[in-house]
Structure 1
């Protein structure tokens, strides 16, 4: 509902008071401005006249003193005159040069020395003015300063002339008026600069202008008033020195007077504002206390309630009975509203805690696919500090991999139909992540839907691991069946070979009789067979058959299911069986042959029988040996391509005992692995091999066997290009000993 905006009582009274006080203040400021301006002009005139008098007295004394010193040397004998001139120059440093000039203006004697017979180039006045001044102000030839020439006539018609510089006058002015804001200048009668703070103007004998001022001083001897120079309005005070005709100028920009006046006005305004503040405060206090403040406090209470801040009671002071009655009714109403707000807040927090407790990402979407609400898991996934609750972000910000399915998502939101998706992506470490997405439209008249995202990576990995386990069990069963089938022909081959070797020996009577019946002797048969190396062939057949029989026996032993309980086994014998089984491994695709790898056994004597699962332990060692063989084969191929020195693939198989632990180390000089690979080496389905060459389960299963089934540890130490070392630590007395020790610690 629209309401008419009315002025407040306190503001109306304040505005009226301000208006009347402003009018009064402006009138006072105008009067003060006129008074201050005239006072500053009068002060400047008085100060100028006083300064001019001081400067004129100093210049007169300065000139008269120099002239008196020059007169003291008058009519000295010619023999002593040069000495006297030298002493005069030394005693009066204001003289830059002292000269004796004859009647033809030729210099006869000079201190400092000058060229004899040189003519005095300075134009002299027809008549010397007071103080013996015989020239207009000029630049001194030696000092480069401004000065005048003084002269004293000798009885012989010559003249004693001295150059008097005005540098002392300049220095004296600077000492007398060091902080003068205006300008003090000494000029000749026509305005040519003699003493000026800017020595460049002095050296150029520059004319300062202001010719109306100099006309006035020549006529009346002084001037005071305003004049204009180069577009600036100046306040000028001028006084002519009667003895020399020079003019003392005191110049101040009129803007300085205006600036000072403005400062006075500002000071007045500050004082007036302070007085006005005190007066206004005292006048408005009663109005504020009696009516405006209670209404304002009551309004503030209503505003606090509108934003959810519930005060215990209204803040309106009880100045009048009407206010007290209104406060009581308002407090009752606010208490009821506060209780309802608390119930809504508790319900909201309860629902929020329910969805925050879910491990899934739960977000609410509008029909445009924007996130309007999220739980804590979704906020953590955003990787920012936004609290769980209401927000407005695109769903891609939480699940970037859902971007290809946005059309289906938008269609499901608009048609209010459920949607299920399966997403596959990568996390920060590069691991594959599987997620299931389910969209459920909101019921009733509400628009949008609820999206739930579940991480099903572990479930998918478990399913794949079970499938792989079934495959391995099938392969193991097939290998066991093949081993049984191979055993039969192997037994016939070995038995036949043994019978042939017996039938050709010369010690059995049946063999001798059969040879005689055939018309030859056993010695001849033996000679023929040795000549054709038939016994050697038979020996090779028997050894190869026996080796094949051993391989089949190891395969049968390896393919049998592990017993549920650990048994006592000799560790070194188990390792030898595993090496023998691995020596039959050859892979054309991977291009490695275990028989080409140099195996170095370093078995410790104090490691004997241990309690373990022998078959599982052999499976772990076999897997590590195969990985090592592939690594050294890859390293050898790489070095061969680069033309490096001869490389010998080597695997060190070590054992040692550390207290109640048996330690197995499998070290190779292969390719090694990077730090990133080393961190993920035991993760299920992580492999660095190409597709089709590995499942990524070997090391994860080995880690499970050692840590879970044996209560040991499996660690890796590797540097890229420098080989790899796997270390297995298992308890000598079996995993039960470790569990018993843990229960006591």
Structure 2
């Protein structure tokens, strides 16, 4: 009897101990879940901050790109106004043939106004798309156009920050690349980051060469190429390159070679995740013989695109 009582007491103690252990586990689980939620919220905020920072860098380039089509719209509008006055004169003189020819000129001007208006509209929509939270939906996208669009925006953004900046930009777009299923705003973010880094690298080397009295021609290359089952986008420069010692760290979050306040350290990390996790591709870095760096975006093609 006494032995049974001891066994029962032992079982109760064991049960209560197990309850306390389970309670502790539940408490720890709740803490871990809360910490994970805070981490995800912080990550989302950091990603949004990086997006807005890159959008800020785009602002000057966007303003320049919009100004060009607006100038065309204004010019062709003024020309059309003058042509209409001439048409009235021709009609007053009874020269209907001359008036008809002038009407054809007005019609051509209106086509050009429409074209450049749509161009400005496309730039604004691209800016809004860049600032929005990505839906993750892949769309058939012209990779050459996307690359060239962000190249221009990045270049004009750099020029706005430093109007003495000049660079020889060499592009080579393979027509066979065509359209690829990507998330446009995400891939645009990757292109912007890689091109900005290349422009920054040659800008820094330009300053250093000038200070040292050395000859240097800054160059940035943007090349697209269709492969058998993939497309490649190569962004390279002839800057100082990336030391071998830090190549393994280059895609780590918060790692940056820029001075404090000039980089978040998230650009390449986010770009790497977009390419690899978001698109099942590869983002590689190579050192070049002339000391520059080359980033390669490799995107797999869907079965119906190969």
Q: In the alignment, is residue 613 of structure 1 matched against residue 191 of structure 2?
A: no
- Higher relative contact order (CA closer than 8 Å, sequence separation 6+): 2
Flag the 1:630–1:511 CA change in 2: closer, same or farther, 3 A. Answer: farther
**Residue 269 (structure 2) aligns with:** 700
What SS does structure 2 have at the residue aligned with 1:583? helix
Alpha-carbon deviation of 1:505? 3.7
- Spell out the pairing of 1:562-641 with structure 2 (5 A cutoff): 562-586=134-158, 591=162, 596-641=166-211
Residue 399 (structure 1) aligns with: none
Deviations 1:545-604 (A, max 9, x none): 998666435423433443433121222122122222223212676x4777x222211223
Secondary structure of the 1:504 match is helix
Whether the aligned pair in 2 keeps the contact of 1:606 and 1:657 (CA below 8 Å) is yes
Give the equivalent residue in structure 1 for 2:302.
Answer: 733
Q: Secondary structure at the match of 2:176?
A: coil
Structure 1 residue 504 and structure 2 residue 82: aligned? Answer: yes
Do the aligned residues in 2 keep the contact of 1:480 with 1:559 (CA within 8 Å)?
Answer: no
- 1:674 and 1:460 mapped to 2: Cα distance? 35
Q: Distance in 1 between matches of 2:195 and 2:116?
A: 23
| 2:247 aligned to which of 659, 668, 678 | 678
The structure with the largest helix share of the pair is 2
For residue 495 of structure 1, report the CA deviation from its aligned partner. Answer: 5.7
Q: CA deviation at 1:681?
A: 0.6
1:112-144: per-residue Cα shift (whole Å, max 9, x none)?
A: xxxxxxxxxxxxxxxxxxxxxxxxxxxxxxxxx
CA distance in 1 between counterparts of 2:219 and 2:67 reads: 35
Contact 1:671–1:720 (Cα < 8 Å) also in 2: no
Q: Which has the larger radius of gyration?
A: 1
Residues of 2 paired with 1:478 and 1:626: CA distance? 13
TM-score scaled by structure 1? Answer: 0.29
Pairing of 1:267-346 with structure 2 (within 5 A) = none
Number of the residue aligned with 2:12: none
Q: Secondary structure at the match of 1:585?
A: helix
**Structure 1 residues 639 and 617 mapped into 2: Cα distance closer, same or farther (>3 Å)?**
same
Tell me how far apart the structure 2 counterparts of residues 607 and 491 of structure 1 sit (CA, whole Å): 27
- The structure 2 residue matched to 1:669, chosen from 228, 238, 245, is 238
Residues 49-79 of structure 1, C-alpha deviation per residue, up to 9 Å, x if partnerless? xxxxxxxxxxxxxxxxxxxxxxxxxxxxxxx
Counterpart in 2 of 1:272? none
* Closer/same/farther in 2, CA of residues 700 and 488 from structure 1, 3 Å limit: closer
Q: Distance in 2 between matches of 1:706 and 1:616?
A: 9
Query: 3-state SS of the aligned residue for 1:673?
Result: coil
Matches within 5 A, 1:345-494: 465-472=43-50
The number of equivalent residue pairs is 249
What is the TM-score of this pair, normalised by structure 2? 0.65
SS state of the match for residue 141, structure 2? strand
Deviation at 1:491, TM superposition (A): 9.5
Change in 2 beyond 3 A, CA 1:564/1:623: same
Q: Distance in 2 between matches of 1:492 and 1:609?
A: 29
Q: Partners in 2 of 1:547 and 1:625 — Cα distance?
A: 22
Q: Which residue of 1 aligns with 2:287?
A: 718
CA deviations over 1:74-121 (Å, ceiling 9, x no partner): xxxxxxxxxxxxxxxxxxxxxxxxxxxxxxxxxxxxxxxxxxxxxxxx
RMSD of aligned Cα (Å): 4.5
Classify 1:679/1:459 alpha carbon distance in 2 versus 1 (closer, same or farther; 3 Å): farther
Change (3 A) 1:559 1:459: closer
Structure 1 Cα separation of the partners of residues 59 and 218 of structure 2: 34
